[in-house]
Amino acid sequence: MLTLEMMSSEGEVFSPVNGVPEVSNAGAGLEQVIFRAVSQSAEGLGETHGFVRLRVALDIDENATPEAEAVTPVWNWKRRSLPQRPQTFCMPLVRKDVFTGAVDGVITGLTLDLTTAVGTGSLASFWGTGSSYYIEVIGGDHEGHRWDIDEAQSTATMLRIDLSNSRNTMATLPITLQGDLVAIRAHWTFNDLFPVSRFSSNTAQNLADRVIMLDRATGLLREFWLFTNSGSPKWVLSGDARLTSQNGRVVDAAEGAFLHARGTPVTLPQAGVARTNAFVCPLRAGMNLVGAGWAVPMSPLDRGMTTLAGFKADPDASKADRIHVWRGDVESMEAYTSYTFMDFGGSQFWDKMGDADLVDSGLEPLFDAWRAAFVISRAGNATWTQQPPTP
């Protein structure tokens, strides 16, 4: 028996969705089961986001007491509304794993041996046309780290890693990855997250909808705008005279952005799988526009922003790490609420700037689940690792 279960944004437990699925023959002894308009069900109506999973129960003797039960990974959905002003954005969910397995070993510092996990299959069967992939360590010594894959150089059982890619959270492929559990996932792209059909294009850059992201290599903000392109809109980089399409540009797991709807308000539905493992979010020295690893609000302490994790506190605010939260996400204004990692009398805490009482904000949910924030790191923090939120 298959049961679709939902938990609302304010809920604490999953409840069955009282909808009747569409069941059809998929061939080869398989059935296809489709639950449609889940967000419009009685359980989801009025919600802007929620959590769903599928429960599978095996009741051999049909006595209403299953002999075995299992649930799928949790999927999250979000219906985002963008008014005509800059809003921050992040995608805290991942795409469905195409493969998971333990690493047999690391070969020549470039290749992961997955022979045992692959078995008689082939890694090549997982590569989809037009997609690029990465591995995320979901269990073991290096949990939360990510590397881009060189699909063309990979074989049936050997996974070649692109060590030159700036999205990697570690510059090398350590031999201690042996035994770690990894997942292969496709990257999110502009096409996936910012479909051109939902945004307003224009031939004039200053009138078109835009996406603003931070270039990690330079620390500079880069603007992408939606060019009409004779009826086939495409995202292009500001200053690119060739107007090269950026529709396939990868949006990294830890990357935040600003979305600016200029033409008309935008409704942006999104869905993905909830991450269950730790999440590495490397910081460059200086400004970082970071996203989230999970679709739940979190505080600085939830995200492990402590001295032990490499964050710098100082009695002098100009020397301490800092957080800037965009007020324009909830108010019609262009300003930030800022927090400084203060060291006062030997105690370290996140202090709201302008707060004369020095109140500790470390447990406040400053980070919205679907928003980005600026983190100013004085020295950089390449190994900032966040742990999954408590269920």
Strand partners, 211: 224, 259
Contact 258, 87 (CB under 8 A): yes
- How does pLDDT run across 214-243, given as a tens digit for each residue? 998 888 999 999 999 999 999 999 999 999
pTM here is 0.91
Confidence of residue 44 (pLDDT cuts 50, 70, 90): low
What pLDDT does residue 58 have?
83
Contact 149, 135 (CB under 8 A): yes
Question: What span, in angstroms and rounded, lies between the C-alpha atoms of 295 and 127?
Answer: 27
CA angle 22, 128, 4 (to 5 degrees): 25
Q: How many CB atoms neighbour CB 189 within 10 A?
A: 18
Domain limits, the chain: 2-72, 99-186, 195-272, 277-386
* CA-closest candidate to residue 131, choices 47, 16, 248: 248
- How does pLDDT run across 125-147, given as a tens digit for each residue? 999 988 999 999 999 999 999 99
- How does pLDDT run across 308-363, given as a tens digit for each residue? 999 999 999 999 999 999 999 999 889 999 999 999 888 999 999 988 788 899 99
Confidence of residue 28 (pLDDT cuts 50, 70, 90): confident
Residue 248 has pLDDT above 80, yes or no: yes
Burial class (CB in 10 A: 0-12, 13-18, 19+), 215: exposed
Mean local confidence (pLDDT), 278-302? 96
Q: What is the largest CA-CA distance in the chain?
A: 70
- How does pLDDT run across 161-206, given as a tens digit for each residue? 999 999 999 999 999 999 999 999 999 999 999 999 999 999 999 9
In one-letter notation, the amino acid at residue 20 is V
Residue 329 phi, psi dihedral angles, 5° rounding: -70, -30
Contact 296, 248 (CB under 8 A): no
% residues pLDDT > 70 (the chain): 97
